Structure 1
Amino acid sequence: MLIDALLDDGDLDAAWREAVGRADDRQWQQLADLPREPRPADALGVYLRLTGYLAAPRAELRCRRKPMTILDRHGL
């Protein structure tokens, strides 16, 4: 609830801070979908986690081309 309120108020830095340990996947994606200019590494980390790249064994990564295409399209 707090994260949603901060996003609604446009307080993006506070929303990123409060998200750690509290945000659900929907809120993380909402944060990552914001303009990436101020926090590109944070946005990339969210996308990698949501697509399973951080937990996937290396052999599985070769089979997952589509998410990387999406990340490339967004300049990440």
Structure 2
Amino acid sequence: MNSLLVEIQTEELPPKALKKLSDAFAQEVFTQLKKADFLLPNSKMKAFGAPRRIAVYITDVLADSPDKPFSQRLVPSKIGIGA
């Protein structure tokens, strides 16, 4: 399986809030990937933080997005399909 590393460079983060910020970032990335069915049941995450960057490392990530039917509203058919 594939692993994923997401890193964001930032301005100087406050040292006292660094752990909380990096954990919140990591948890949100993990949650959104799980919600979109990109993660396997045994996926794990690890948060990293430094004064000028935060990151998350996630194991067992799918390489391709799962096929899901969806509906998206675009141009009305009476305008898009004309004579």
- Larger proportion of strand: 2
Relative to its length, the structure with more helix (as a share) is 1
Same fold (TM over 0.5): no
- Compare relative contact order (CA 8 Å, sep 6+) and give the higher one, 1 or 2: 2
If you compute each CA radius of gyration, which structure gives the higher value, 1 or 2? 2
